[in-house]
Amino acid sequence: MADTAPPMEPPKLAHTPRARLDATLLRILGLAFTVFIIAYIAIPVVVTLVMSFNEASVIRFPIKAWSFAWYQDFFASPQWVDALKSSVIIALGTTVISTVSGVLAAWAFERFTFPLKSVVYLVIMLPLFMPGVVLGLGVAMAFGNVSIFGYDIYGTRGLVMLAHSLWAMPLVFMLMEATFRTVDHRIVEASYDLGGRPVQTFFEIVLPSVSTGIISSALFAFVISLNEFVMALFLTTRDTQTLPVLMWLSLRSAGTPRLAVASVVLAGAVFVSLALIMVWYVRQLKKT
């Protein structure tokens, strides 16, 4: 009778002192890096928030008196309120333009094949990597003397929306292209077999299945446009200037705590947008 060798046991990891030391060192480095990133992000936000309650007429430390006076001053100023209104309107318009165009372009790239597809992809993504000063100056020179039905489009909010979409649309396209890859195309084909038209299938089958990606992309586009400064500096006038542009112009003349209030308003809009993304994402996870 032949001897049978005992079954070999899988090798065990050697928990040597050196391995334990390396693991501890990695945990310490990871924790230190996390704390550094959180502090790097939080400190400017906290300092700005604190300075917005400074009663003094200039930005300075230490704060001798606390007050809501600069918040009242901000929301009582027609110039600052109009700038905030312009920023929100432009951001909403940019969101609509970039979301619609980005979603449709991403679906076309995922679903269809057409000539020069790689070249078109490069053209769509190129503005995302271009400096804002180049895009802003280029749009200003291209449309500076253009008028539609007798109205000059330079300095209008619509032109700024289109310019901001040069950054926002590629981001929406990139996010939605990855999202559309998760769609089960067998469901789409089944809809076609049952008599569903392509447009009907897209709106009733495809879009509901990628609603989380669409909402996230739209909110990211909104935040990008709301905080954009360089292109708006080239393309806005006194009547249409955005809040970041007015902040920069005010900083050149006098650095009052009103700037801190404006920064808190912009930061608050960003935090609200991120919170909406998280809430929507968690709700969608609970449904699955």
pLDDT over threshold 60, residue 235: yes
Instruction: Note whether residue 45 is domain-resident.
Output: no
pLDDT over threshold 60, residue 107: yes
Q: Read off the pTM.
A: 0.82
State the average pLDDT over residues 12-36: 78
Instruction: Note whether residue 278 is domain-resident.
Output: yes
Instruction: Note whether residue 60 is domain-resident.
Output: no
pLDDT of residue 6: 58
Q: 194-205 burial, b if ≥16 CB within 10 A, otherwise e?
A: eebeeeebbeeb
pLDDT digits (tens, 9 = 90+) for 51-92: 888 777 777 767 777 878 888 888 998 999 999 999 999 999
pLDDT over threshold 60, residue 14: no
pLDDT of residue 2: 52
State the average pLDDT over residues 126-141: 89
Quote the mean pLDDT of the chain.
84
pLDDT grade for 170, boundaries at 50, 70 and 90: very high
pLDDT of residue 172: 94
Contact 258, 73 (CB under 8 A): yes
Instruction: Note whether residue 102 is domain-resident.
Output: yes
Containing structural domain, residue 273? 71-287
DSSP 264-285: HHHHHHHHHHHHHHHHHHHHHH
Instruction: Note whether residue 91 is domain-resident.
Output: yes
Instruction: Note whether residue 202 is domain-resident.
Output: yes
pLDDT of residue 210: 86
148: helix, strand or coil: strand
Q: Comparing C-alpha atoms, which of 53, 87, 44, 45 is closest to residue 73?
A: 53
Q: What percent of the chain has pLDDT over 90?
A: 24
What's the CATH code of the domain at 181? Answer: 1.10.3720.10
Instruction: Note whether residue 254 is domain-resident.
Output: yes
pLDDT over threshold 60, residue 12: no
Contact 286, 243 (CB under 8 A): no
Distance CA 73, CA 258 (A): 8
pLDDT grade for 25, boundaries at 50, 70 and 90: confident
